[in-house]
Amino acid sequence: MTVPHRFDEITETLARQSIELPSWAFGNSGTRFKVFGTPGTPRDTHEKIADAAKVHEMTGLAPTVALHIPWDDVEDFTELKAHAENLGVELGTINANTFQDEDYKFGSLTHSDPAIRRKAIDHHFRCIDIMHATGSTDLKIWLADGTNYPGQDSLRARQDRLAASLAEIYERLDAHQRLVLEYKFFEPAFYHTDVPDWGTSYAQVSALGDRALTCLDTGHHAPGTNIEFIVMQLMRLGKLGSFDFNSRFYADDDLIVGAADPFQLFRILYEVIANGGLGEDSPVRFMLDQCHNIEEKIPGQIRSVLNVQEMTARALLVDRAALDRAQAEHDVLGANEVLMDAFQTDVRPALARWRASRGLPEEPMRAYAESGHQRYLAEQRVGGAQAGWG
């Protein structure tokens, strides 16, 4: 494979790629045992957005920032929108949070108490109001709802209550706004989770309408799950709305995407590309959902978006004609070799030259390290409470 020649053929598609950053990735995080602080950590939402804007400045890949409510609550979201735009980014997905309130101990949108369901629905209504102020088009819902013991609650009744709650929220959206329902097979509920898999999410959003879709978090699956098959199936059904990219070794580790299994990330992105996910009118949106527990936040996000870009480039270099021939001829090893040739191609030099041609640093990680910006933040952000999990 002649990489420089082939690389020139994929730059137009690469230029369309954008990866939304999560505001919470710039705050302190950790495990259930300890949350570690780091010098220069943002103290409010404005500083989180400034850090996200620095990632976009270095990579050209991250033009939007997702917010988490109430973690990113501010008095004036119109002013926050202007603040982001002044820094060269925009506000993106609004993420609802119904997993840190005492009332939601036994569920939120699925709770048996109508008053608590009303509270949870009203929280989503407020998120939609925030979407109007920020210009966001996506409301993302992830629920911690579930049970820990057999017999604790009616599994059927919880699904019915969820369907009714989601229908009320969906009805509140404007015609240009979407509801994106995430799933997670366990934690914090251990016997059953109310939205544990893509099938449950698909069933719920399919009942709502065309603007209700599924969000696939790459860390939210049982070990050994073929995630790229799920990607294909949801795209085939027209119901893949977005990705939450991260990496996991054992459970929902929220590590830098591609850190645990770069080949899996390549396979996922190949299916995205093969099914039109990088087309100009694609409904699929990329976002990171990561927590940097021990590493610095801005470099962690830079590394993450670069990993996605690199594997996207490799996936775009798959020789589709050769792959089609091998598959048609049932050439098992030949077909696999076509994929492996693309995966093993070192695209980093070509990507560096392409970045330079666009006025970006050839090596964003090195450029950021040499800029002194991390030291500047540590010196400037003194006093106040560092942002964290809210």
| Per-residue pLDDT tens digits for 125-162 | 999 999 999 999 999 999 999 999 999 999 999 999 99
Instruction: For residues 301 and 326, state if they share a domain.
Output: no
- Give the phi and the psi of residue 181 in degrees, each rounded to 5: -105, 120
Q: In terms of domains, do 230 and 218 share one?
A: yes
Residue 207, pLDDT above cutoff 60 = yes
In terms of domains, do 188 and 260 share one?
A: yes
Q: Do 39 and 126 belong together in one domain?
A: yes
The confidence score (pLDDT) of residue 338 equals 97
Residue 47 sits in the same domain as residue 36: yes
The confidence band for 390, taking pLDDT boundaries of 50, 70 and 90, is low
Residues 200 and 272 in one domain: yes
Q: Are residues 91 and 230 located together in one domain of the fold?
A: yes
Instruction: In whole angstroms, give the CA distance from residue 232 to residue 247.
Output: 19
In order, the DSSP letters of 359-376 are TS-SSHHHHHHHHTHHHH
**Single residue among 316, 350, 383 that ends a domain in this structure:** 316
Is pLDDT above 80 for 44?
yes
Convert the pLDDT of each residue in 79-131 to its tens digit.
999 999 999 999 999 999 999 999 999 999 999 999 999 999 999 999 999 99
Residue 377 belongs to some domain of the structure: no
Residues 288 and 354 in one domain: no
Query: What is the spatial distance between Cα 188 and Cα 208, in angstroms, rounded to a whole number?
Result: 26
pTM for the model stands at 0.96
Quick check: is 99 in a domain? yes
**Mean pLDDT calculated for residue range 190-205:** 98
Say if residue 331 is in the same domain as residue 311: no
Residue 3 included in any domain: no
- Coil, helix or strand at residue 147: strand
pLDDT digits (tens, 9 = 90+) for 321-370: 999 999 999 999 999 999 999 999 999 999 999 999 999 999 999 999 99
Residue 219 domain boundaries: 15-316
**Is residue 73 over pLDDT 80?**
yes
Interval 273-291 mean pLDDT:
96
**Is 8 inside a domain boundary?**
no
Predicted local distance difference test score (pLDDT) of residue 3: 52
**32 band by pLDDT with thresholds 50, 70 and 90:** confident
pLDDT at position 186: 94
Residue scoring higher pLDDT (288 or 251): 288
Residue 387 lies in a domain: no
Predicted local confidence at residue 34, as pLDDT: 85
Mean pLDDT estimate for the chain: 96
| Structure confidence by residue, pLDDT tens digits, 361-386 | 999 999 999 999 999 999 999 999 99
Tell how far CA 21 is from the center of its chain: 7
SS3 category, 247: strand
Mean pLDDT of 166-174: 98
Q: Work out how many domains the chain is built from and give that number.
A: 2
- Asked if 196 and 285 sit in the same domain, the reply is yes
% residues pLDDT > 90 (the chain): 94
| Secondary structure of 271-336 in HEC code, one letter for each residue | HHHHCCCCCCCCCCEEEECCCCCCCCHHHHHHHHHHHHHHHHHHHHCCCHHHHHHHHHCCCHHHHH
Of the ranges 4-13, 148-157, 274-283, which one carries the lowest mean pLDDT score? 4-13
7 in a domain, yes or no? no
Residue 384 included in any domain: no
More confident residue, 61 or 5: 61
Q: Does residue 253 sit within a domain?
A: yes
Confidence of residue 5 (pLDDT cuts 50, 70, 90): low
Q: What CATH number has the domain bearing residue 132?
A: 3.20.20.150
Over the stretch 220-260, which tens digit does the pLDDT of each residue have?
999 999 999 999 999 999 999 999 999 999 999 999 999 99
What's residue 36's pLDDT?
A: 87
Q: Which residues contact 203 (CB under 8 A, 6 or more apart)?
A: none
**What CA–CA distances, in Å, run from 237 to 207, 333, 382?**
13, 29, 50
Do 112 and 182 sit in the same domain of this protein?
yes
For residue 388, the model assigns a pLDDT of 86
Same domain assignment for residues 308 and 324? no
pLDDT of residue 273: 98
Q: Is the pLDDT of residue 31 over 90?
A: no
